[in-house]
Every structure is written in C-alpha cells, then in structure tokens.
Amino acid sequence: MSIQDDLSKLVKGDVDASDEALAAASHDASLFEVRPQAVVSPKDADDVKALVKYADAHPGVSLTARSAGTDMGGGPLTESVVVSFTKYFNHIKEVSDGFAVTEPGVYYRDFDKATLEKGGQILPSYPASRELCTVGGMVANNSGGEKTLTYGKTERYIRRLKMVCADGEEHEFKPLGEQEARRKEEGAGFEAEVYGKMRALIDSNRDLLAKAKPIVSKNSCGYYLWNVEHDGLFDLCRMIVGSQGTLGMVTEIEFGLVKPKTHSHLLVVFLNSLDQLGETATHILEYKPESFESYDDQTLKVAIKFLPQLMKQMGGNVITLGLEFVPEMLAVLESARLPKLVLMAEFTADTDEEALKAAMDAQMSLKAFHEKTRVTKTESDEHKYWVIRRESFNMLRKHVHGVRTAPFIDDFVVPPMSLPRFLPRLYEVLDPYKKELTYTIAGHVGDGNFHIIPLMNLNDHERAHQIIKDLSVKVYELVHEFHGSITGEHNDGIIRTPFIKMQYGEEVYRLFEEVKKIWDPKGIFNPGKKVGGTLDYAFAHLVKSS
C-alpha cells in the first residue's frame, strides 16, 4: 500500500501524489528542487494530529509545512510529506482592536486588507513578498522588511499560537509569568517536559548564549534561545517563531497589530563615497526614520538602463514621469558619476507637515558632509525611489537570459556603524566573480541588513557548486568577523543550515541539536533545517539548469 493510500484513510482533507502536485511542491523561490512523496492539505487540527501520529509510527516519514512557497532558502522542501496549509487553513477568525486571530494559510495581502478595514491596523513585519506570502510563512521565518527598523520583526507580534507537537496533540503557547511557567514545568505530559527541559537548557548555558548572540538588531539564524526570557516572561513563542516548522506544526496565531502613521516624506542622500556612510547613517537615525533603505550604483545603472520599463510600472504620463527624474539626473551631472550608494530615510507622522519637518530637519543635520540630498515633496516623487529599490533587480532578471536568481548570500546583517569598513571588504570578496555573477546590493541600511541575489549560470554544475561554496564561506567569515548574522530575515533552510555551526560554534550548535531532540525526538518535523543539513545534500538538490 502506498503512502498516498495510507494518508487518504487518515485525513478528511486532500492527499495528492500526482506529478503536477509533486512538481509544484518541489520548488520554492530558492535554488533547490526536492521532490516529495505526497502533498496533504489538512482540513483541520485533527487532520494535522493524525498526520503527526502516522509519522511517529512510521520511521522515515516526516512532515514539512508549506504555505505560499516564497521561501528563498528551501525551507518548505522535503523528500517525504508536504503539509500544505493554504487550501483549508485560510480563515481569519477575529480582528479586534490591537490584535487578530488567524490560521497560518491566510495570505498576508488578505490579512492586511482585513486589519486595515478594522481601524487602519497592520501587522508591520511584512517582507518584500507581501503580495505573495502567508502569515504562516512569516511566523516560520520570523520575517521582517521595510518597517522592521521601527516596528521589529514578526517575533514581536505573536501574542499566542497553537501548534501540533510531536505527541500528536495541539498545544497553546503564550508568554508566561514566572509563577505560571513554573507551574507548567511541575505538571505532567509533553508541555511540562518541554518547559522543564528548555528552562534547564537556558539556565545552564547563559554565558555561552550571551557570548554567541550576534550584536545586531535582527537575526533569523538557528534557534533563538536568548529570546525566550524577556520582560520578566518565559515565552516559548519567541523560539517557535523562526524555527521553520522544525518543532511542530502551527495551526493558529494571534498577532498584535499597530496603527501606522498616515503621512510620509523621504530624505534621499546620494553618497559618492562609503567613507561617510557610518556618520551619515548615525545622524539620520537620530531623527528616528520609520524605515531606512539603500541601493547601490549597480542598482541605479539597472534603473537607468530599463528606465522606460520602470516608468511603465510607476503608471501615469510618460512626460510627467520623466520630469520626476530631473533632480537625479542633475545630481549625476554635478558629480560626473553615479553615487556609490543611495540612502532613503522615510519619515512618517500623523500630519504631512510633521513628516516633512522631520525629513527636512534630518537633511539639515547632514550639511557638514556636503553630500547631495533632497526631500520628496509629493507621493509620486517618493514612489519612484521605492520602484527603483524594489523593481530594478526584477527588471534585470527578466531581460538577462541564460541565468537565474541564485539566493545564497542574500540576507546577512552587520552592525550599521561597521558598514563603512564592511562594504569595501565585501566588494573585494565579490569582485573576482564579476564575470560569472551579475548582482546588485540593496538593503535595510538602518539595521545593517543587506540583500545580494546574484544572477548566475547553473548549467556548469561543478563551477556553480564551487562559486556558491567559496563565496558563502568568504562572505560569512567576513560577517562573523564583524559580529553579524548570516541571515536577518530569510532564515536558514537548506542553503544556510550547513553554515550555522560557522555562525555560532560547535557548543551552541550542540544546544540547537538538544532543542530539536526536546521538541521532536524522532525527527518528524522538517528534517535537515536548523540542524542536520549538509552542503552535500544542498548541492545534490540544486536545480538542474538556468
């Protein structure tokens, strides 16, 4: 009897082992292709429980949660059973003042619409894939994005969650006070064991964990043992978030919501040299921008090359749009070269006057640096910078043939003050590969989080493997030297799990292995992510061609 037949008898939902379903579940937005044995769409928590109990009784069967499949690291890929949550776990159960209760398969775009309709509230930790991703994926990866500088990552907004654990039962996790947490530990059953063992693990390794924690404001690498205790609480949600479904299967989430400011203006800075980046960024950050983004000269070259296409995406009259870019053209003519880096600091407020004043005050503080700056006055003026920041690389990808996106050094973080020293060293690492990689560098300069997603030819497998391995090691060694993290938002997956030991060292990696054993002693949930992943496995599952 096949696994499809077995599972069809267990669940009320759908079990699909067709070539079409398996092919679709073999990919996400990463470099990898991993074909599962079956795709199951559970109808309810009882179905998820049944799947866990089946996997527990059948060695070699594992379960990997999947929603939209926008992960860039291979997080939802498996050779066993994919558990897909988008078909049935797609209900928003409640939206109230300050919070919302939802199932993990809800698309963020739908969740966002529902929360905005209820008093203009949002979940502000959305990633760049906000139109495509689900809230379950945001929890799995501990997502962040443009607004993370001010509002933080997804971890900050989880008030409670329900999860089917290795015992085949659904449990609720939420922040607990000291006495309540102790009562959990003194009880019986799975929860008592988990709470007790996690407490002991953290208590006996405080110094080691404190030393290993990256000194950056965002980090999605490994298990966040240092975040469990906060504000006098013992909060296992802070470790479940970002665990990529390796500890259990989330079935319900209660998110906290915020009301964003309604008016904004951008301060745009054209840096001709990286030497003043640190001081410039520090001055701007003192004025508390809501977001602080950047893109490099390569991005600007792409924008110039594909300006007509970008203008189409912006919409409106072509002549009017052309006039919108006059200030940038003048800036380039004045300096006779493209700026090395363009900084975009977004200032928001409840009134347009307040937002404009904040942006102009920050601009005035930069006068001593003699850099070209401007403050946007209109929404369309502001919008063009976001289009360049968000869409230039997509334009490049669409128009360059014989290559594909290769996200493997796509999400590192270093302390922002280190950027003037870090970025030249990074360019030194990348320069020898210029003939084989086409790339731009853009990111969240306010928290030192940069994204490099090269375009490369994967047809020469041996050379592709060598480039990915060599560059990953060189870039991550550099990141480690600056006390950063190899991933701030995109998480580990297949691509970075082999480098977690490099990030934290052998001792901390062993703690992560202990965490996995505490929660998932038989390795049921998403094996090979966070612990146990190897470069050999990753290379064996690279997509076959460009």
DSSP string, 152-174: --GGGGEEEEEEE-TTS-EEEE-
Tokens of 404: 């594909």
CA distance linking residue 233 with residue 340, whole number of Å: 45
Query: 42 phi and psi, to 5 degrees?
Result: -70, 145
CA distance linking residue 81 with residue 65, whole number of Å: 9
The alpha carbon of 218 is separated from its chain's Cα centroid by a whole number of angstroms, namely 10
Residue 314 is predicted with a pLDDT of 61
Sequence spans of domains, the chain: 263-399, 425-540
Laid out side by side, the sheet with 455-456 consists of: 404-405, 455-456, 437-438
Beta-bridge partner residues of 111: none
Nearest to 131 by CA among 114, 117, 112: 112
Low-confidence ranges of the chain (pLDDT < 70): 1, 310, 312-336, 393, 396-397, 399-402, 545-546
CA distance linking residue 431 with residue 441, whole number of Å: 13
The amino acid occupying position 207 is: D
Query: 160 phi and psi, to 5 degrees?
Result: -165, 160
Q: Does domain 263-399 have CATH number 3.30.70.2190?
A: yes
Sign of the four-CA dihedral 380, 289, 442, 529:
negative
Q: How far is CA 511 from CA 80, 124, 170, 238, 504, in A?
A: 26, 31, 25, 16, 10
